């Protein structure tokens, strides 16, 4: 395939990438929490004080911290650190234990080195590459230094960043809400960078993704601020330490420790005047002071609009797709012939940036038409991303694992709906097999709260929808379940009943005509999907 009329060369974006262990990184200093690791001087400092750590342990730490997020096999570490002698795995364990001790790993929510069972070790702290040593850091860097460097340039979202920045300035506490992979962290980082000057560089990023114990949330915030908590009430101690300061704290990926984050965030909001909070989550924190901002998908070329290369390249979803293909396949030119396929792909992926990135990887490897033809979305992979972004399935698993039992049941039972459906539809289809109306409504509300269902309100009623990628996942769950036939039958009955309802009654239910047409279209698509599903499952 061709591609790229408008694209600057992807090298521009990869230049700022923290390529671990690349030659020019070898002499770089790295910061994580209150620590600074200098590979040139071969020292580890905490708050400027050199910590005693042996040569091999330093080698291990430098190797691991140079490749944050990657799982490094034990043998690879041994080969690197003991290239001169043969040692057993036990030696590695002893040295890793020494490093952990020096870092206070495991205390107060600090977490830097994870042992990934059967695979190796991974540095899981947020690493900030520094230029030169602490003393020579320039001001510009200091203003941005506490935010992790993301290897990619953000596409579109200028309005969102400015709206969120304004909201944050006015309200002091904003949550970016949305499904996995929609771009919340990307936006939060951009807001952080924009705000850096205003906050005199005091912008801190707390990556909660790898935190498994909710008791360590306050400790994790403190670690990111370079503080260590000692008291039995870490939340209170944290508030005391930051009370008089003006700071922006970004709490990223809150949903899996939501209650603990809610407590800490509320405490920070209520008991300080100048601590600003920006959180990202698939579900809102629901505490005093929180203002939610829902992140929407990237705009895609609508069905029926002009589908030439120039026309579709005006949409950020297409720009993202083309850039990601170019980054992997080199310079590419999007042709008018290919444009409709690309537009369709972006629509099918609901403008979800993560899904678009994953699809772009596939296109770079297989070509456009082959990818469209065998669209195995849930299996697409993305090697460099955080683990839960390596496949769409992984990002959806993350959300699914946080659902209650009732939400899981309703989630899989509403999978047959294509496009929008109503509460009544959900109740009809999910309602058999023991789930009561109240439980179904609660579950739908929970799924909306957790960003697995999107809503729109027509004049008369709320309507719900699963994004196509989410629906494919929900269908997989349904197909694994014994109730699949019953649910499909209920859905077929519902759709047939709906289509048989006289237009007039439906017009009353859905008073504006456009909504009615949309509604009808969704129902017809439902009907087609129904037939297709039967073909697949029978």
Ligand X SMILES: Nc1ncnc2c1ncn2[C@@H]1O[C@H](COP(=O)(O)OP(=O)(O)OP(=O)(O)O)[C@@H](O)[C@H]1O
- With respect to ligand X, which residue has the nearer C-beta, 120 or 179? 179
Q: Compute how many other C-beta atoms are within 10 angstroms of the C-beta atom of residue 37.
A: 24
Q: Is 282 in the site for ligand X (CB under 6 A)?
A: yes
Residue 178's binding partner among ligand X, Mg ion, none (Cβ under 5 to 8 angstroms by kind) is ligand X
Residues 145-204 interacting with Mg ion (rule: CB under 5 A): 184-185
Q: Is 180 in the site for ligand X (CB under 6 A)?
A: yes
Q: Is 351 in the site for ligand X (CB under 6 A)?
A: no
Q: In angstroms, how far is the first alpha carbon of the chain from the final one?
A: 38
Q: Is 402 in the site for ligand X (CB under 6 A)?
A: no
326 vs 481: CA distance, rounded Å: 41
Residues 451-480 interacting with ligand X (rule: CB under 6 A): none
- With respect to ligand X, which residue has the nearer C-beta, 175 or 395? 395
Q: Is 280 in the site for ligand X (CB under 6 A)?
A: yes
Distances (CA, A) of 168 to 111, 142, 158, 191: 29, 22, 15, 9
9 vs 11: CA distance, rounded Å: 5
Distance of CA 288 to the CA centre of its chain: 25
Q: Is 4 in the site for ligand X (CB under 6 A)?
A: no
Kindly indicate which of the ranges 181-189, 283-291, 336-344, 454-462 contains the residues binding ligand X, using the contact rule CB under 6 A.
181-189
Continuous segment of H or E residues that includes residue 35: strand 35-38
Residues 319-338 interacting with ligand X (rule: CB under 6 A): 320
Kindly indicate which of the ranges 64-72, 177-185, 515-523, 528-536 contains the residues binding ligand X, using the contact rule CB under 6 A.
177-185
Kindly indicate which of the ranges 132-140, 173-181, 213-221, 361-369 contains the residues binding ligand X, using the contact rule CB under 6 A.
173-181
What SS3 state is found at 279? strand
Number of residues that bind ligand X (CB under 6 A): 24
Where are the strands (E) in 255-313, listed by range?
275-281, 291-294
Residue-by-residue DSSP string for 397-454: HHHHTTS-HHHHHHHHHTTT--S-EEHHHHHHHHSSTT--HHHHHHHHHHHHHTTSSE
Q: Compute how many other C-beta atoms are within 10 angstroms of the C-beta atom of residue 440.
A: 22
Q: Is 186 in the site for ligand X (CB under 6 A)?
A: yes
Shortest separation between residue 182's beta carbon and Mg ion, angstroms: 9
> Alpha helix locations (H) across 70-121?
74-81, 89-103
Kindly indicate which of the ranges 179-187, 221-229, 369-377, 423-431 contains the residues binding ligand X, using the contact rule CB under 6 A.
179-187
Residue 145's binding partner among ligand X, Mg ion, none (Cβ under 5 to 8 angstroms by kind) is none
Q: Name which position in 177, 317, 354, 492 contacts ligand X (CB under 6 A).
A: 354
- With respect to ligand X, which residue has the nearer C-beta, 66 or 180? 180
- With respect to ligand X, which residue has the nearer C-beta, 29 or 362? 362
**Angle at CA of residue 237, ends 234 and 242, nearest 5°:** 125
* Max Cα–Cα distance, the chain, nearest Å: 84
Shortest separation between residue 398's beta carbon and Mg ion, angstroms: 10
Half-sphere exposure of 310 (CA within 13 A, CB side): 0
In this chain, which residue has its C-beta nearest to Mg ion?
185
Contacting residues toward ligand X, per CB under 6 A: 152, 154-157, 178, 180-186, 253, 280, 282, 320, 353-354, 357, 385, 388-389, 395
């Amino acid at each position: 395939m061709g591609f790229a009329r408008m694209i600057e060369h992807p090298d521009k974006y990869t230049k700022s990438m923290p390529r671990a262990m690349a030659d020019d990184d070898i002499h770089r200093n790295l910061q994580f929490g209150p620590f600074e690791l200098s590979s040139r001087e071969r020292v580890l400092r905490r708050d400027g004080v050199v910590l005693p750590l042996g040569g091999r342990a330093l080698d291990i730490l430098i190797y691991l911290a140079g490749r944050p997020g990657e799982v490094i096999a034990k043998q690879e570490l041994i080969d690197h650190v003991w290239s001169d002698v043969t040692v057993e795995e036990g030696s590695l364990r002893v040295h890793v234990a020494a490093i952990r001790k020096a870092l206070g790993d495991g205390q107060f929510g600090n977490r830097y080195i994870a042992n990934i069972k059967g695979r190796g070790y991974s540095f899981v702290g947020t690493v900030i590459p520094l230029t030169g040593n602490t003393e020579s850091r320039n001001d510009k860097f200091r203003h941005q230094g506490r935010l992790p460097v993301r290897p990619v340039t953000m596409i579109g979202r200028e309005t969102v960043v400015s709206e969120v920045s304004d909201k944050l300035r006015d309200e002091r506490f904003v949550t970016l809400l949305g499904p996995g992979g929609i771009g919340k962290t990307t936006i939060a980082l951009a807001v952080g960078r924009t705000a850096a000057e205003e906050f005199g560089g005091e912008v801190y990023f707390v990556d909660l993704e790898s935190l498994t114990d909710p008791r360590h949330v306050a400790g994790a915030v403190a670690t990111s601020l370079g503080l260590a908590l000692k008291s039995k009430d870490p939340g209170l101690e944290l508030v005391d330490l930051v009370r008089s300061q003006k700071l922006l704290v970004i709490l990223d990926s809150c949903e899996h420790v939501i209650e603990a984050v809610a407590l800490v965030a509320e405490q920070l909001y209520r008991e300080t005047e100048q601590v600003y909070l920006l959180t990202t989550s698939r579900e809102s924190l629901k505490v005093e002071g929180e203002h939610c901002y829902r992140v929407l998908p990237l705009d895609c070329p609508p069905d029926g609009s002009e589908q030439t290369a120039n026309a579709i390249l005006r949409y950020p979803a297409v720009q993202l797709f083309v850039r990601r293909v170019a980054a992997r396949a080199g310079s590419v030119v999007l042709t008018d012939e290919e444009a409709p396929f690309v537009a369709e792909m972006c629509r099918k992926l609901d403008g979800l940036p993560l899904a678009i990135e994953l699809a772009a990887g596939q296109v770079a490897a297989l070509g456009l038409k082959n990818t469209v033809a065998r669209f195995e979305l849930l299996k697409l992979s993305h090697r460099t991303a955080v683990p839960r972004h390596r496949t769409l399935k992984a990002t959806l698993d993350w959300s699914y694992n946080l659902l209650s039992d009732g939400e899981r049941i309703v989630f899989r039972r509403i999978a047959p709906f294509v496009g929008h459906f109503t509460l009544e539809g959900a109740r009809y289809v999910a309602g058999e097999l023991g789930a009561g109306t109240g439980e179904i409504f609660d579950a739908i509300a929970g799924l909306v709260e957790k960003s697995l269902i999107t809503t729109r309100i027509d004049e008369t009623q709320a309507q719900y929808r699963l994004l196509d990628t989410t629906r494919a996942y929900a269908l997989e769950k349904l197909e694994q379940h014994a109730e699949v036939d019953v649910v499909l039958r209920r859905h077929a009955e519902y759709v047939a009943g709906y289509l048989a309802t006289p237009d007039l009654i439906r017009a009353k239910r859905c008073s504006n005509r456009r909504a009615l047409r949309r509604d009808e279209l969704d129902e017809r698509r439902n009907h087609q999907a129904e037939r297709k599903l039967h073909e697949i499952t029978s």
